[in-house]
């Protein structure tokens, strides 16, 4: 668990970056699944990052222009013994102060009557529009009231800005406490992959293995899967967002598993491994696997300070294209194939993304013209693949694909921490050599 001091330091950094703006950061709300049933609660990552408060329907205010002792205000669901019988424990306003470091706390129902007062003196309001349908009308009403009075009150006209760039810049570089949790998330995820590979065999169903992997997450203290686990046998592996997970595992085919856990603190693992269901690659499967593995290994090693996500993608693409040319699955020169994107029927996604409290974590990849350079403390995935679907549409000028290659979908994905020196592969406990995949 993250130390409360750590949340307090984050809030102070955020407050100092707001330079006179008020920030309004809502918690998530419960989402209906159907009828009276709701999805399990998932906190808004921005709200969590600043508060560590894991309840729905709260709102945090950050007010840097107020005196110290009034800068962090938390509106929360109040204690209610009757409702808590149905929906569970609530900390309430008193504990929001005592345990979560709020300077002041109010019941959430009082937000509409109190917000305008708290916003007095702000140079502007940092609030993300379009994302919080319950809170947004309250914010806009308060802003509107303030604007109506600008001429009489003499206060500055309030602007509305998005808090994303400030907050997401902070979230992009992980603190030591966060890195520890990311190591843990990656480790649990990696061990689940190791275990599931040992038991997978022809005749099982994708769904059975999903159960096994997710059981492992829960047994090891995680909240659950970080995203819809992908357990994809054969050609299903070529569906990038496959989550049906309900087909039998066939002898002679590959199995792609893309699964990671989310910890109670919401930090996530995101790992993909691909292996032969019967324990032996065919010649074609092995050839493609080796190309993806080479691309992944070299791309991983290039996650060094000063490099950037696009650079890593380009490195991976070059090795994939080279390998596919050697196998006769592409034709032309490396440079022309890359320039024309003539490989995209076989590799159609990017090679990675930031990873943290969100699986596709926040943080810019480009700032205007410039790609964001990797720095110590950033965490990203490196996940090249090759997908030769039965449905593969070959572009003009590229060779038709022989059926012996069809139904091969391979991705290898690791989670990597940028350090001062060599990158640290957080998910290294999930093996990936050809030999290991055949055991
Ligand atoms: N599992 C989602 C991804 O790999 O990006
Ligand atoms: Mn990923
Ligand atoms: Mn993944």
- The domain that contains 86 carries what CATH number? 3.40.350.10
190 C-alpha to ligand 1 centroid (Å): 15
The pLDDT value recorded for residue 157 is: 63
Do 24 and 149 belong together in one domain? yes
- Beta strand 414-417 with 72-76: parallel, antiparallel or unpaired? unpaired
pLDDT string in tens for the chain (439-residue length): 888 899 999 999 999 999 899 999 999 999 999 999 999 999 999 999 999 999 999 999 999 999 999 999 999 999 999 999 999 999 999 999 999 999 999 999 999 999 999 999 899 999 999 999 999 999 999 998 888 887 777 666 678 999 998 999 999 999 999 999 999 999 999 999 999 999 999 999 999 999 999 999 999 999 999 999 999 999 999 999 999 999 999 999 999 999 999 999 999 999 999 999 999 999 999 999 999 999 999 999 999 999 999 999 999 999 999 999 999 999 999 999 999 999 999 999 999 999 999 999 999 999 999 999 999 999 999 999 999 999 999 999 999 999 999 999 999 999 999 999 999 999 999 999 999 999 7
Split into its structural domains, the chain has a count of 2
Tokens 């996940």: give the residue. Answer: 383
Do 77 and 215 belong together in one domain? no
Taking alpha carbons only, the member of 67, 183, 60, 197 closest to residue 121 is 67
Tell me the HSE value of 135 on the side-chain side, using a 13 A CA sphere. 24
Do 160 and 208 belong together in one domain? no
Total residue count of the chain as it appears in this document: 439
Do 275 and 375 belong together in one domain? yes
* Residues, Cβ < 5 Å to ion ligand 3: 258, 270, 413
Q: Quote the radius of gyration of the chain (alpha carbons, Å).
A: 25
Tokens 């992959």: give the residue. Answer: 193
Do 153 and 247 belong together in one domain? no
Instruction: Tell me the C-alpha distance between 44 and 97, whole Å.
Output: 20
Q: What is the pLDDT of residues 185-213, one digit of tens each?
A: 999 999 999 999 999 999 999 999 999 99
Q: 132-141, long-range: CB within 8 Å, 24+ apart, which pairs?
A: 132/26, 134/26, 134/29, 134/57, 135/24, 135/26, 135/59, 135/111, 138/111, 138/112, 139/24, 139/115, 141/112
Tell me the HSE value of 408 on the side-chain side, using a 13 A CA sphere. 25
Report if pTM > 0.75: yes
Listed residues 149, 169, 189: the one ending a domain? 169
Do 100 and 243 belong together in one domain? no
The pLDDT value recorded for residue 145 is: 87
Do 147 and 236 belong together in one domain? no
Do 63 and 87 belong together in one domain? yes
Q: List the domain range (segments joined by +) for residue 164.
A: 4-169
Instruction: Tell me the C-alpha distance between 374 and 379, whole Å.
Output: 9
- Beta strand 159-161 with 124-126: parallel, antiparallel or unpaired? parallel
The catalytic residues are: 36, 241, 258, 270, 349, 353, 360, 383, 387, 411, 413
Q: Dihedral sign for Cα 150, 155, 157, 160, please.
A: negative
**Atom 3 of ligand 1, residue of closest alpha carbon:** 270
Instruction: Tell me the C-alpha distance between 269 and 427, whole Å.
Output: 8
379 C-alpha to ligand 1 centroid (Å): 14
Do 142 and 213 belong together in one domain? no
Do 81 and 102 belong together in one domain? yes
Ligand 1 atom closest to residue 413's alpha carbon, by position in its atom list: 4
Instruction: Tell me the C-alpha distance between 121 and 40, whole Å.
Output: 38
Do 208 and 342 belong together in one domain? yes
The pLDDT value recorded for residue 152 is: 76
Could you say which ligand is closest to the alpha carbon of residue 273? 3
CATH code, domain with 338: 3.90.230.10
Listed residues 150, 169, 188: the one ending a domain? 169
Instruction: Tell me the C-alpha distance between 366 and 117, whole Å.
Output: 38
Taking alpha carbons only, the member of 78, 281, 275 closest to residue 196 is 275
């Amino acid at each position: 668990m993250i130390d409360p001091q750590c949340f307090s330091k984050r809030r102070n950094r955020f407050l100092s970056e707001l330079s006179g703006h008020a920030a309004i950061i809502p918690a998530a709300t419960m989402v209906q699944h159907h009828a009276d049933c709701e999805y399990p609660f998932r906190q808004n990552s921005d709200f969590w990052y600043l508060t560590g408060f894991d309840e729905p329907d709260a709102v945090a205010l950050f007010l840097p222009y107020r005196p110290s002792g009034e800068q962090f205000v938390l509106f929360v669901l109040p204690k209610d013994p009757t409702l808590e019988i149905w929906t569970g424990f609530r900390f309430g306003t008193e504990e929001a102060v005592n345990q979560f470091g709020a300077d002041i706390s109010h019941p959430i129902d009082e937000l509409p009557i109190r917000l305008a007062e708290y916003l007095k003196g702000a140079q502007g309001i940092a609030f993300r529009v379009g994302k919080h349908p319950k809170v947004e009308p309250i914010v806009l009403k308060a802003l509107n009231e303030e604007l109506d009075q600008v001429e009489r009150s003499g206060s500055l006209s309030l602007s509305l800005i998005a808090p994303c760039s400030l907050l997401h810049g902070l979230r992009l570089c992980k603190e030591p406490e966060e890195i520890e949790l990311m190591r843990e998330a990656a480790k649990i995820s990696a061990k689940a992959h190791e275990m599931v590979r040992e038991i997978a065999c022809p005749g099982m169903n994708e769904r059975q293995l999903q159960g096994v992997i997710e059981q492992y997450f829960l047994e090891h203290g995680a909240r659950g899967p970080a995203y819809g686990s992908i357990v994809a046998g054969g050609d299903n592996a070529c569906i990038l967002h496959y989550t049906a997970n309900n087909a039998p595992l066939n002898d002679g085919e590959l199995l792609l598993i893309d699964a990671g856990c989310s910890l109670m603190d919401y930090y996530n693992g995101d790992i993909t491994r691909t292996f032969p269901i019967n324990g032996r690659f065919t010649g074609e499967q092995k050839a493609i696997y080796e190309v993806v593995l080479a691309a992944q290994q070299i791309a991983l090693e290039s996650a060094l300070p000063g490099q950037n996500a696009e650079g890593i993608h380009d490195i991976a693409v070059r090795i994939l294209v080279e390998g596919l040319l050697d196998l006769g699955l592409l034709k032309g020169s490396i440079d022309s194939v890359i320039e024309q994107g003539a490989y995209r029927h076989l590799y159609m996604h990017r090679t990675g993304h930031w990873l943290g409290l969100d699986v596709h974590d926040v943080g810019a990849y480009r700032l205007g013209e410039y790609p964001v350079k990797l720095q110590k403390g950033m965490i990203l995935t490196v996940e090249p693949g090759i997908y030769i679907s039965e449905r593969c549409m070959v572009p003009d000028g590229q060779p038709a694909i022989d059926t012996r290659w069809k139904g091969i979908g391979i991705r290898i994905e690791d989670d990597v921490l940028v350090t001062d020196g060599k990158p640290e592969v957080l998910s290294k406990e999930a093996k990936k050599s050809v030999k290991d995949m055949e055991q």
